[in-house]
Amino acid sequence: HVQLVESGGGSVQAGGSLRLSCAASGYIYSSKCMAWFRQGPGKEREGVALLNSDGRLIYITHADSVRGRFTISKDNAKNILYLQMNDLKPEDTAMYYCAARASLGATLTVARYRYWGQGTQVTVS
C-alpha cells in the first residue's frame, strides 16, 4: 500500500503562485506513476499532470489547461511529488488530489489510479 498526504493549498489572488506537495510513504514501488488531479465545484475530477519515475525521470506531461503555468516534479530521495502553480486563475479553484499507481503510463484517467490522497484546497479569487 501507498499513503499519500498533500499539503500547500490555500487562498491566493489571480496571478499568484502556490506549490503543492504530496508526501508518499509505504510501498513506494507501487507509485512509479504519480499524478495531480483536481475537482472544481460541480465538476468532474480531471487530470492536471503526471510524472513517471523508476528512480530516474522517465516521462512528464501536463494538461492543456495548465501547460506553461503548472510544473510537476518529484524529489525521488524524499519521495515527494510537487506541483508548482504560477499565474493562477479563478478557474483553477478546486480540490487538488495526488494519486499514484504502480504501472508506468501516460494516462490521466481517474479509474486507472489506485492510491489517492485526501486533497488540498486551492482557491483563486
Supply the pLDDT for residue 106.
Answer: 85
Q: Give the integer Cα–Cα distance in Å for 114 and 96.
A: 16
Q: What percent of the chain has pLDDT over 70?
A: 98
| Spatial contact of 106 and 50, defined as CB atoms under 8 Å apart | yes
Sign of CA dihedral 88, 94, 99, 104: negative
Say which residue, 32 or 119, is predicted with more confidence: 119
Give 55-110 pLDDT, tens digit per residue: 787 889 999 999 999 999 999 889 899 999 999 999 999 999 999 998 888 889 99
Pairing type for strands 33-39 and 57-62 reads unpaired
Length of the chain: 125
- Phi/psi at 64 (5° precision): -55, -35
Supply the pLDDT for residue 30.
Answer: 63
Q: Is 29 exposed, middle or buried (0-12, 13-18, 19+ CB in 10 A)?
A: exposed
Q: Across residues 26-31, what is the average pLDDT?
A: 73
